[in-house]
Structure 1
Amino acid sequence: MSRALLIVDVQNDFTEGGALAVTGGDAVAAAVTTFLAAHASDYAVIIASRDWHDAQGDNGGHFAGTPDFVDSWPVHCVAGTEGADYDPLLVTDAVTHHVRKGQGKPAYSMFEGETEAGETVGALLTAAGVLSADVVGIATDHCVRASALDAIAHGVHVRILTDLVAGVAPEPSEAALAELVHAGAELVESTDA
């Protein structure tokens, strides 16, 4: 039974000082790096995603001058900018596949993205025979939630490593974790992974 590690959107614009900074984002980046140093060999596939929005246009309504922070957001993670880069505290040497999502359209789940070679996350997991995946990253209440739900829908047993995620706000993050448990995910600490 193959396992995957899914690293969701650990990017400069989602960590401290970024356009949509999430408190604790830098700590997640550093902790994921520490986790990878000890556990990368436990995974057949390690996939990291990044928002990678077009510089021109509103990306299908995703960018707005007056965002509602539900369906529209301030400009963030524009392709090729520092904000779209991985947080420097995240060492990606062990990552086997890099996925970009959100070109010209809203995209929350890493399953909506693809590699430079055009591979989707679902296809990568199927090709590797992945039956279980650990999910980490930013933000618990948005892209981590969407990616984990899509992994479950793909037939993968999901564990959220709760000490390796950070959310925008406590209440929606708790609601997202409860929703994921209801959908079949497990919540575990990385020390128990």
Structure 2
Amino acid sequence: MHALIIVDIQQDFCEGGTLAVNDGAQTAALITEYMNQCGQKFDVIATTRDWHIDPGPHFSDEPDFENTWPVHCVAGTPGAELHENLDTEFIDAEFLKGQYNDGYSGFDGILGEPDLIRNQDGMAGPYGATAAAAAATDSSSITMDEWLREHDVERVTIVGIATDHCVRATAMDASDAGYEVRVITNLTAGVSDKNIDDATDEMEDCGVMLSEWPGAKTFIG
């Protein structure tokens, strides 16, 4: 079985968000086009979200944009929502990560409850997370690895944001867990060119396959 994992295509990581990367919105649109054209090759499709409640030193008033960051993707706020260019009709499961830590890897996430994600009543944590959003994984303890294995997945293809952080961490954890892993690099967007180059080298060294989707050029053109 083959899974597509879409990493963190969220409002705060796209143009207008608090931690936007270049071409984030375009990457979201490209992934939707990729699913329209190629989605049938995947047995399941999952997405991840940063879902921060109180992630400690991950947030900083003076971020270095490598280990510390501005406040972003607070659970239950508009910035944590999936970007409107991403068609959620294709998605079978969402994994929420980083509630109380950095949460770079999708393999740190827990299967979320959509009804609770969309409930905005009450507050939790110091950054304005909603109480219901903070409880969005309370009814589940299912990790991404457990969910993939329940679906007999052996191969994963990874796309999303950011190439040099959460995509990298998710791909390397997938490889360490024994999956055959591919990252489609032109369906990702990153923070810095140098870090992207370092991340792709690191992923390749771990056995992750890197490729490009030829259809992206046609869609952009």
Shift of residue 43, structure 1, vs aligned partner: 1.1
Aligned counterpart in structure 2 of residue 187 of structure 1, from 210, 216, 221: 210
Shift of residue 171, structure 1, vs aligned partner: 1.1
Map 1:132-147 → 2, pairs under 5 A: 132-147=155-170
Per the alignment, in what secondary structure is the counterpart of residue 130 of structure 1? coil
Aligned twin of 1:172: 195
Q: Which has the larger radius of gyration?
A: 2
Aligned twin of 2:21: 22
- The CA deviation string for residues 2-43 of structure 1, in whole angstroms up to 9 with x for no partner, is 101010000010011111100011111000000111222211
Instruction: Using structure 2 for the length normalisation, give the TM-score.
Output: 0.82
Aligned twin of 1:74: 70
Gaps of 5+ in 2: 113-139, 216-221
- The CA deviation string for residues 22-79 of structure 1, in whole angstroms up to 9 with x for no partner, is 001111100000011122221112110000111xx4x121111112222221100001
Distance in 1, Cα, partners of 2:205 & 2:109:
25
Distance in 1, Cα, partners of 2:99 & 2:72:
12
Per the alignment, in what secondary structure is the counterpart of residue 19 of structure 1? coil
Per the alignment, in what secondary structure is the counterpart of residue 5 of structure 1? strand
Per the alignment, in what secondary structure is the counterpart of residue 29 of structure 2? helix
Per the alignment, in what secondary structure is the counterpart of residue 159 of structure 2? strand
Map 1:1-193 → 2, pairs under 5 A: 2-54=1-53, 57=54, 59-116=55-112, 117-191=140-214
Distance in 1, Cα, partners of 2:195 & 2:102:
20
Shift of residue 191, structure 1, vs aligned partner: 3.5
Matched residue type, 2:202: E
Gaps of 5+ in 1: none
Instruction: Using structure 1 for the length normalisation, give the TM-score.
Output: 0.94
Per the alignment, in what secondary structure is the counterpart of residue 214 of structure 2? helix
Distance in 2, Cα, partners of 1:163 & 1:66:
31
- The CA deviation string for residues 101-138 of structure 1, in whole angstroms up to 9 with x for no partner, is 01122110010011123321100111111111110000
Distance in 1, Cα, partners of 2:150 & 2:213:
26
Distance in 1, Cα, partners of 2:142 & 2:31:
24
Aligned twin of 2:119: none
Matched residue type, 2:100: G
Matched residue type, 2:89: D
